């Protein structure tokens, strides 16, 4: 029996939570996977340790001086890893001919260009970068169609939807596949039962205290406002060819059911598992096979109960703003996403209040009506314009708080 060569993988954002989890899974199967390239923004210390373990052909950092330091350390260890820096190098390792699979784990708009490069090169792309679809969904999905790239979602919710859809599902054909709608679960974050009148006094530390997941501060705030779920709704629409009304957000505090698909015959199929990102990563890496992820098995006897409730748009207005942006189309989602990044950063710096975040976003969306975009340059221009407008509005909100 012939043993196939290990699958060559590039991990974009190797030192982030997705990258670390992906490498944990990859490291369990040296006969199945080999690491071609690892990239990081500025964490050259962790990237050094990862390069020592996986010995990739290439490594990329965001800054020249950190790349030079990593290069010296690896050379001193006798490792032949080629170390580069900058956006062009990111795109090169994403599209390299030696690579079959790319884990797109870079957060923010910095992940757009390398993710798109991987798609245009026809790679198998394991997508964790929300911004690729939230801000540039039309451009990204057109590139997938033209190149024949295979797009597999890593977000636990979208991966769950993918697992629950029929094997012959065609993007945009819900009814033809026997599907009525998608049920997108949300934990509800730390304020799912809070009195809306008290949310104006929320502190950054309170907003970052997620009850189920350990995440970075920005995404923790997005979970607290439910903007994260709004962005995931947009992502689901692009991934599966849906309209916003095809997706029902369901607050599920236990984070055990990661999403569900409701069929025309009344059946509802759910994907369940412990809240561990290695589960969707292992699924996508090995698809259509199954491999062990390293996650703890789900103990049904310890669950006790599973709760569900509709989202409260008075408590979570950001969810409604995301639905409106998806319906508006064009650059509306890029505008909203950029404004949200600036607003959340201002909140974490204690320049604005928690409930100022949705107020800021609504003001930006009103000031910048949607226009059509057909290129990545157009998306990035909308992103930058939204950031400038939002920064100006932050100053006004900040001044208002002082008076």
Is 229 within any annotated ligand binding site? yes
Residue 17 is labelled as binding a ligand: yes
- The answer to whether the annotation marks 395 as part of a ligand binding site is no
177 annotated as belonging to a binding site for a ligand: no
**Encoding tokens for residue 233?**
């709704």
Please tell me whether 374 is known to bind a ligand. Answer: no
Neighbours of 393 (CB within 10 A): 22
Cα distance between residue 387 and residue 340, in whole Å: 9
| Residue whose C-alpha is closest to residue 247's, from 203, 198, 181 | 181
In degrees and rounded to multiples of 5, residue 401 shows phi and psi of -70, -30
Structure-block tokens of residue 83 = 């170390």
Alpha-carbon distance values, 149 to 102, 164, 185, 285 (Å)? 11, 21, 28, 15
Known binding residue 370? Answer is no
Residue 21, marked binder: no
Q: Is 216 annotated as a binding residue?
A: yes
Which residues have C-beta within 8 Å of that of residue 223, sequence separation ≥ 6? 187, 189, 190, 210, 213, 215, 229
Q: How far apart are CA 291 and CA 260, in angstroms?
A: 22
Distance of alpha carbon 360 from alpha carbon 366, whole angstroms:
10
156 marked as binding residue: yes
Q: Is 155 annotated as a binding residue?
A: yes
Q: How far is CA 117 from the centre of its chain?
A: 17
Q: Is 78 annotated as a binding residue?
A: no
Encode burial over 347-379: b for 16+ CB neighbours within 10 A, e otherwise.
bbeeebbbbbbbebbbbbbeebebeebeebebb
130 is in an annotated binding site: yes
| Dihedral sign of CA atoms 69, 345, 324, 165 in order | positive
What DSSP designation does 6 have?
Answer: P
115 is in an annotated binding site: no
**Residue ranges at the known binding site for 1-deoxy-D-xylulose 5-phosphate:** 130, 156-157, 187, 210, 223, 228-229, 232
**Residue ranges at the known binding site for NADPH:** 15-18, 43, 129, 131, 216
**Residue ranges at the known binding site for Mn(2+):** 155, 157, 232
**Residue ranges at the known binding site:** 15-18, 43, 129-131, 155-157, 187, 210, 216, 223, 228-229, 232
């Amino acid at each position: 029996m012939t043993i196939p060569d290990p699958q060559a993988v590039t991990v974009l954002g190797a030192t982030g939570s997705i990258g670390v989890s992906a490498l944990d899974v990859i490291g369990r199967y040296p006969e199945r996977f080999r690491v071609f390239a690892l990239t990081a923004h500025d964490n050259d210390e962790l990237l050094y340790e990862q390069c020592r373990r996986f010995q990739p052909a290439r490594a990329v950092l965001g800054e020249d001086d950190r790349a030079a330091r990593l290069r010296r350390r690896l050379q001193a260890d006798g490792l032949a890893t080629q170390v580069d820096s900058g956006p062009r190098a990111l795109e090169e390792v994403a599209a390299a001919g030696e690579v079959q699979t790319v884990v797109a784990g870079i957060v923010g708009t910095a992940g757009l260009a390398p993710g798109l490069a991987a798609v245009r090169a026809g790679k198998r792309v394991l997508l964790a970068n929300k911004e690729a679809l939230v801000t540039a969904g039309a451009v990204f999905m057109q590139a997938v169609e033209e190149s024949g790239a295979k797009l597999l979602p890593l977000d636990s919710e979208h991966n769950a939807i993918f697992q629950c859809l029929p094997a012959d599902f065609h993007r945009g054909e819900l009814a033809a596949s026997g599907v009525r709608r998608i049920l997108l679960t949300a934990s509800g974050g730390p304020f799912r039962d809070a009195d809306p009148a008290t949310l104006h006094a929320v502190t950054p530390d309170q907003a970052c205290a997620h009850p189920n997941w350990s995440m970075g501060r920005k995404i923790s705030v997005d979970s607290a406002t439910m903007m994260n779920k709004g962005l995931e709704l947009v992502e689901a629409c692009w991934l599966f060819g849906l309209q916003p009304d095809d997706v029902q957000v369901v607050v599920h505090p236990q984070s055990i059911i990661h999403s569900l698909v409701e069929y025309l015959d009344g059946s509802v199929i759910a994907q369940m598992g412990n809240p561990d990102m290695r589960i969707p990563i292992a699924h996508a890496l090995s698809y259509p096979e199954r491999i062990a992820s390293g996650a703890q098995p789900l103990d049904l006897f310890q669950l006790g109960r599973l709760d569900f409730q509709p989202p409260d748009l008075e408590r979570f207005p950001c969810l409604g703003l995301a639905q409106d942006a998806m319906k508006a189309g064009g650059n509306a989602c890029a505008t909203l996403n950029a404004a949200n990044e600036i607003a959340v950063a201002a909140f974490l710096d204690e320049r604005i209040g928690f409930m100022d975040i949705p107020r800021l976003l609504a003001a930006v969306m009103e000031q910048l009506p949607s226009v059509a975009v057909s290129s990545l340059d157009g998306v990035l221009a909308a992103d930058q314009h939204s950031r400038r407008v939002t920064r100006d509005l932050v100053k006004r909100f900040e001044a208002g708080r002082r008076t």
